Structure 1
Amino acid sequence: MIRVSRLNAGMILIVGLVTYGCSGSGTDTPSPEPVDQGKDRKAILTHWADNIIIPSYSSFKLKLDALTAKSDAFAAKPETASLVELRKAWIEAYNEWQKAELFDVGPGAKRAIRSYYNIYPTHVQGILANIENPSSSLETTVSFDRQGFPALDYLINGVGTTDAAIVAFYTAPDAGAKRIAYIKRVTEHMQSLLTAVITDWNGAYHNEFITKTGTDIGSPMGELVNGYVLHYERYIRSGKFGIPSGAMLNGVVAADKVEAFYQKDISKRLAQTAHQAVEDFFNGKSVKTDAEGPSFKSYLNALGAKDSATGQSLSKIINAQFAASKAKIDALGPDLHQQVIENNQAMKDVYTVLQKAVRMLKVDMTSAMSITITYTDNDGD
């Protein structure tokens, strides 16, 4: 019994020493580095999808549904009252579209929804030809400028100088029915495109978007950044201001190329809405709550991105430039066509201040995020 007790004591001593050695070595193991939430691209992509992009399309869908209903009501009873209601619904839907147009990624890019919805100036002769040929396709690239909001602009505002004359255009004994039918064709095609885009976002693409978190060419973030910058550069800076003012056309003024040419008094409103949407997206503003979430701003801050000239936070500099651009746009008259005619320098000034933001987004922001710009433009950036 005595020999057994000594053996047990020795074993206990050995176990104790091993245990002590193991616990001592564990204290030297470094703790894992804390995850920087600002650099969590999955969180950013999820916030964009669930709180901004899909809700923006859903909000627009409500406005497009209302537009479609009013166009059907006008078709059933073409008169001044139904025309006025149709026009109101068109304005509201057109304005709401400005908030969703910038999402040129995934389903929207695949279906070229922006090109089908908002290429202006519209092609009047092409529209009239399509009216005469009901079997003409709206699915071709040549048809882009014969449909969407600009085509409806002509059809409900530009076919006559008064509401009575416009109604007469659609109640003409021989051609009226064909003309009304084209309005229906345009709205139905818009509905079809939007339904497909929303279905994809609510389906398999949603998971693809939030789980492919790289920044390489072809990644959701890479594509969205390219689409976002392109939208600001080409469709806001150039389309809404640079081309009509002549700043993009070697000084050749083109007032007739303003957005909503036949309902000119909403052209500034559309530009304001589009610019605000770009700023809100940069800051991750939720469509549901208005609160800011993961965004370009938070990501740049997490990366420690600085303005090379001043050393200030790059996101702060970009937001300051957005504010300067907004102030210039707000100072314009409501009718950008008239603005070009009466004081075109103010339009050029907007173009200039927008161009400064383009450089920040296209060069500084993308460099900080290690994202390659894959589209080309002839503005020298």
Structure 2
Amino acid sequence: MKKYFALLLTVFFLGCSSGSEKPGPQPVDEGQDRSVMLKSLAERIIVPSYDQFKTKFDDMNAKSKAFTAKPDAQTLAAFRAAWADAYIAWQHVELFDFGPGEKHTIRNFFNIYPTNVAGITANYSDPASNLEVPASYATQGFPALDYLINGLGADDTAILAQYTSDRDAARRLAYVTRIITRMESLLGKVTGEWKGDYMNTFTTKTGLDIGSSTSLMVNGLVLHYERYIRSGKFGIPSGAMANGIPSPDKVEAFYAKNISKNLAQSAHKAYVDFFNGKHAVTGEAGTGLKTYLDALGAKDSSNGKLLSESINAQFTVATGKLDALKSNLYDEVKTNNQAMKDTYNEMQKAVRMLKVDMTSAMSITITYTDNDGD
């Protein structure tokens, strides 16, 4: 009996000893903490980018008021310069088409091109026309302003006549004001929500379901690169997405023309910087999609390198093709269209990496549809 009791005690102490040696919670790689990534992207890139854009927009607004008060060569030139600066700054926030940007469909009201000239004419002829419906997208925003300050005549004298001596001069001036006032209102709503309650929503919805911040953001970003940089700026104008039939009239900033490449470069750089978590003001690298992919250990299956390295390498190739283009993409389509197609093709390679490899590594489901076979 004593031997049996001793055996029970031995088993009991061995069990206690074994339990005390069980490992506790395993440490989590901080790079995989999506709340850290989301907070960094929102505070270091998204909000500062909107602030920078608003500064440029406010200057355009002021110059537009000077022009509508006194349309002459000097005020027109100042308005154009401020418009170009604001349009370039817009490229740094257009990619944020998730959260408040998506809610208020700000992209659709700010940058749908080619602009609808007939619709613009109808709108300034009818001050009560509805600018809040999808049919009005192409009659407002930066492309509409492009037509109104660059495309109303063959030269500045002819354009200014449309605002001074033409019978519809007052209506055109009123429409310029109407467009910019509407843009100002939409921008205020989007930035107000980012600086308000949505910031907390964005940084705390850390799951990977289709309604999570990471899923909404990644879907919005991949869509932006695919449809609005690769396709909109290169694939459609060059004809690479239209059975080889070029459409130079569909380039961005069609009437100004000389800033079309600059717009594309700004959009592409903003995208690459966001991917790498670069601060919108200082350019300092921080937590972002790259660091998150690295923390997940995501590899490029074709070469075994870090996936982020392969994506950045492809971005560099695409940037090289883009930088080699002439400043006027309309002329480039007309005279050197293969270079436009080559740029599209290199961006297409990046699309595959972003849309397939990156989302797979992040366990993100693509929720939008596209018809070009990606």
Query: Structures share a fold, TM > 0.5?
Result: yes
C-alpha separation between the residues in 1 aligned to 2:21 and 2:166? 91
**Aligned match of 1:81:** 74
**Aligned match of 2:216:** 223
Percent identity between matched residues is 59
Q: Which residue, out of 173, 194, 204, partners 1:180?
A: 173
Q: Which residue, out of 284, 292, 305, partners 1:312?
A: 305
The runs of at least 4 consecutive aligned structure 1 residues that moved more than 6 Å come to 23-27
C-alpha separation between the residues in 1 aligned to 2:123 and 2:143? 15
1:262 partner letter: Y
User: Which deviations, in whole Å up to 9, do the C-alpha atoms of 1:250-283 show, x marking residues without a partner?
Assistant: 1111011000000001000000000001100000
SS at match of 2:91: helix
1:102-113 correspondence runs (5 A): 102-113=95-106
1:70 equivalent in alignment to 2:63: yes
**Aligned match of 2:124:** 131
C-alpha separation between the residues in 1 aligned to 2:78 and 2:324? 30
Larger radius of gyration: 1
**Aligned match of 1:271:** 264
C-alpha separation between the residues in 2 aligned to 1:255 and 1:215? 41
**Aligned match of 1:95:** 88
Alpha-carbon deviation of 1:173? 5.3
1:372 partner letter: T
2:162 partner letter: F
**Aligned match of 2:287:** 294
2:96 partner letter: F
2:317 partner letter: A
Q: CA RMSD in A?
A: 1.6
Q: Which residue, out of 144, 150, 157, partners 2:150?
A: 157
2:160 partner letter: V
C-alpha separation between the residues in 2 aligned to 1:192 and 1:169? 27
Give ranges in structure 2 of 5+ residues lacking alignment. Answer: 1-12
User: Which deviations, in whole Å up to 9, do the C-alpha atoms of 1:71-124 show, x marking residues without a partner?
Assistant: 000011100000000000000000000000000111100000000000000000
**Aligned match of 1:14:** none
**Aligned match of 2:5:** none
SS at match of 2:302: coil
2:38 partner letter: L
SS at match of 1:100: coil
1:33 equivalent in alignment to 2:26: yes
**Aligned match of 1:357:** 350
**Aligned match of 1:3:** none
1:331-350 correspondence runs (5 A): 331-350=324-343
Compare 25-34 and 104-113 and name the one that shifted more.
Answer: 25-34
User: Which deviations, in whole Å up to 9, do the C-alpha atoms of 1:308-330 show, x marking residues without a partner?
Assistant: 11111100000000000000000
Alpha-carbon deviation of 1:344? 0.5
Q: Which residue, out of 131, 145, 150, partners 2:138?
A: 145
C-alpha separation between the residues in 2 aligned to 1:44 and 1:220? 11
1:126 partner letter: G
SS at match of 1:84: helix
C-alpha separation between the residues in 2 aligned to 1:160 and 1:84? 15
C-alpha separation between the residues in 1 aligned to 2:141 and 2:148? 11
1:247 equivalent in alignment to 2:240: yes
**Aligned match of 1:13:** none
SS at match of 1:329: helix
**Aligned match of 1:285:** 278
Alpha-carbon deviation of 1:29? 4.8
**Aligned match of 2:8:** none
User: Which deviations, in whole Å up to 9, do the C-alpha atoms of 1:278-324 show, x marking residues without a partner?
Assistant: 10000000113211111111111111111111111100000000000
C-alpha separation between the residues in 2 aligned to 1:159 and 1:283? 41
Alpha-carbon deviation of 1:35? 2.5
User: How has the CA–CA distance of structure 1 residues 173 and 237 changed in structure 2, closer, same or farther, with 3 Å as cutoff?
Assistant: closer
Alpha-carbon deviation of 1:137? 1.1
SS at match of 1:305: coil
| Residues paired across the two proteins, number | 362
